[in-house]
Amino acid sequence: MTYIAIARNSKNEPIKMVGKMANRHGLIAGATGTGKSVTLRKMAESFSNQGVPVFLVDVKGDFSGMAKKGQAQGKVAQEMFSLRDDYYQAFPVTFWDVYAQVGIPFRVKISDMGAMLLSRLLGLNETQQGVLNLVFKVADDNGWLLIDIKDLRALLRYVADHANEYKTLYGNISTASVGAIQRQLLVLEQEGGDLLFGEPAIELIDLLQTKDTQGVVNILAGARLMRSPKIFSALLLWLLVELSTEFTECGDLDSPKFVLFFDEAHLLFDNASPALLNQVEQVVRLIRSKGVGVYFCSQSPLDLPQAILGQLGNRVQHALRAFTSKDQKAVQSVAETFRPNPEIDVLETISILGVGEALISFLDEKGIPNPVEYAYVLPPASQLTPLATEEQKIIIENNNYYAKYRETIDNDSTFEALLQENEKLQVNQKENTVCGTSTKNQAQAQDIPSPVTGFFRGLLGIRKHSNVGLGYDVSNQLGKKVKQGLFKSINGVIMGVMKRK
């Protein structure tokens, strides 16, 4: 059975997580500056050493040092843990970046993100989300791929222009809502969110790599991403949902297939709709049976919805500062979640924990929480400080996936499909216009008599109501005059003969 050591208790005994229980998810909580990030890093290193690929977001920009071997940091830690030189090591790392500045470009397709997460990303209300759902349905029914923002913008414009045609099948389409969505897309572009969408899109299999006996640590650059919380949360929730969809059931493995660490986890749930919260709750519940462990990191456990918090079996609690009555209630609530240990007063201890100290409770082999223990988190084995910019650049460009994802590819998608359809429509309209004009001219040509025809019709007294030309009018009148003259001449001859008799 696999065990993952991350700390030692007051008796210098290792505190280990049971490998097959690592997919029961976990929580790392504590106030700012109490050691959460170090604990997260140590856990990621421990999973990597067990051959488990890891995904985490580098919010502070200091996790790049995991690619380099660390060294002893102070005599106290060295003596406390009796660490030898072979404890320190480097880890295989792949750097990713939505903005393609300090990592390999990380892209997704708009159609893969779906209407619900995209609505959250754009900050849409219920009515606008309904229109977006309709737009996704139109794309799906027509087999149009939504890859990037220009695809979505083109389809929104198309749907608005054909609102009456879609009304019967899909319902009313508010042009005001379409306009609001278009404006939010503009805001997203100004924040750099358009770089998130496109091709080649990330393939999950590329996150599940190992090197030698270690799992690759996938580090997503988060310093700039954190300035756009909606992009940050939508991306991580997409990844969670995508893993749940793509992975197959496997139960409790000796070690999980993949582990995710979500730092600043409260951002995932801020202003989330009930429907989205319900979806995330279901995903977190179901994904563990697919061999995926999810570890949320936040200042307080109360930052997470109760439905999510109740599913986190492995817990590391750093210090919580109770300066206000609200903080005291939070401490009380957290203390009640641990399985009691008669040797520890949890309520008192939480407030006095030092940096790197924590209260830990992991699940045992049967999935039952162990009694809470006072623990000292082991120092990371990798370099604590960030890599130099040039060092990180070399690692990025030497990665096998750099060539695959470096350049954006603009394949045919909805934008091109609608462009072709518009061109065909214009050609058809032009042909119909030319054909209609020709037919009309022929009819008019047939309908307009020549001057000679007008002359003889006037002569014979034949009437025809039609749009005729000036030549016809003149010849017609001339024919009438000649006819009148002939009648007068003939009449004079007859009268002369009769008089002679």
Q: What is the DSSP letter of 412?
A: S
Q: Does 214 share its domain with 157?
A: no
pLDDT in tens, 397-412: 999 999 999 999 988 8
Structure tokens that stand for 457 in this block? 């019709």
Element containing residue 62 per DSSP (H, E): none
Q: Are 367 and 313 in contact (CB under 8 A)?
A: yes
| pTM given for the model | 0.83
Is pLDDT larger for residue 452 or for residue 142? 142
Q: Does 78 share its domain with 117?
A: no
Q: Does 276 share its domain with 241?
A: yes
Domain of residue 182: give its range.
Answer: 110-192+413-424
Q: Does 181 share its domain with 205?
A: no
CA 455 – CA 458 distance, rounded (Å): 5
Name the band, by pLDDT with cuts 50, 70 and 90, for residue 439. Answer: low
Taking alpha carbons only, the member of 161, 179, 159 closest to residue 170 is 159
What does the pLDDT average to over 271-288? Answer: 90
Sign of CA dihedral 70, 73, 75, 79: negative
Return the SS3 of 119.
helix
Q: Does 139 share its domain with 223?
A: no
Name the band, by pLDDT with cuts 50, 70 and 90, for residue 488. Answer: low
Give 15's contacts (C-beta < 8 A, 6+ positions apart). 5, 6, 7, 8, 9, 360, 362, 373, 375
Q: Are 274 and 22 in contact (CB under 8 A)?
A: no
Q: What percent of the chain has pLDDT over 70?
A: 84
- Give the model's pLDDT for residue 88: 94
Q: Are 77 and 83 in contact (CB under 8 A)?
A: yes
Q: Does 266 share its domain with 339?
A: yes
Give 355's contacts (C-beta < 8 A, 6+ positions apart). 33, 34, 35
Count Cβ neighbours within 10 Å for each residue of 207-217 and write b for 16 or more, e otherwise. Answer: bbeeeeebbbb
CA 28 – CA 40 distance, rounded (Å): 7
Q: Does 36 share its domain with 78?
A: yes
What is the bridge-based pairing of β-strands 104-105 and 93-97? parallel
Beta strands, E only, 247-356: 258-262, 292-298, 314-317
Domain boundary at 405, 440, 467, which?
405
- Give the model's pLDDT for residue 75: 61
Q: Does 464 share its domain with 477?
A: yes
CA 337 – CA 365 distance, rounded (Å): 20
Q: Are 71 and 384 in contact (CB under 8 A)?
A: no
What does the pLDDT average to over 422-443? Answer: 66
Q: Does 271 share its domain with 204?
A: yes
Q: What is the DSSP letter of 76?
A: H
Name the band, by pLDDT with cuts 50, 70 and 90, for residue 460. Answer: very low
Looking at this protein, which amino acid is placed at residue 194? D
Residue 494 reports pLDDT greater than 60: no
Calculate the dihedral angle through the C-alpha atoms of 435, 439, 441, 446, rounding to the nearest 10 degrees. Answer: 160
Give the distance, in angstroms, between the CA of residue 57 and the centroid of all CA atoms in the same chain. 16
What does the pLDDT average to over 47-65? Answer: 95
* Burial status of residue 472 (CB atoms within 10 A of its CB: 0-12, 13-18, 19 or more): buried
Q: What is the DSSP letter of 289?
A: G
Q: Are 7 and 358 in contact (CB under 8 A)?
A: yes
- Give the model's pLDDT for residue 472: 45
Looking at this protein, which amino acid is placed at residue 387? L
pLDDT in tens, 292-331: 999 999 998 989 999 999 999 999 999 998 778 777 888 8
- The domain total for the chain is 3
Domain boundary at 395, 424, 453, which?
424
Name the band, by pLDDT with cuts 50, 70 and 90, for residue 495. Answer: low
CA 61 – CA 39 distance, rounded (Å): 16
Taking alpha carbons only, the member of 63, 115, 295, 105 closest to residue 194 is 105
Taking alpha carbons only, the member of 32, 55, 34 closest to residue 43 is 55
CA 331 – CA 351 distance, rounded (Å): 8
Asked if the bond preceding 256 is cis, omega within 30° of 0, the reply is no
Structure tokens that stand for 101 in this block? 């500045």
Q: Does 132 share its domain with 205?
A: no
Structure tokens that stand for 460 in this block? 């014979």
pLDDT in tens, 14-43: 999 999 999 999 999 999 999 999 999 999
Element containing residue 73 per DSSP (H, E): none
Count Cβ neighbours within 10 Å for each residue of 140-178 and write b for 16 or more, e otherwise. Answer: eeeebbbbbbbbbbbbbebbbeeeeebeeebeebeeebb
CA 197 – CA 436 distance, rounded (Å): 45
Q: Does 69 share its domain with 160?
A: no
Q: Does 267 share its domain with 325?
A: yes
Domain boundary at 362, 396, 424, which?
424
Q: How far is CA 388 from CA 41, 45, 203, 205, in A?
A: 19, 21, 28, 29
Q: Are 5 and 378 in contact (CB under 8 A)?
A: yes
Q: Which residues, listed in sequence order, are joined to residue 5 by a DSSP beta bridge?
A: 16
Classify residue 143 as left (phi > 0), alpha (psi -120 to 50) or beta. left
- Give the model's pLDDT for residue 485: 54
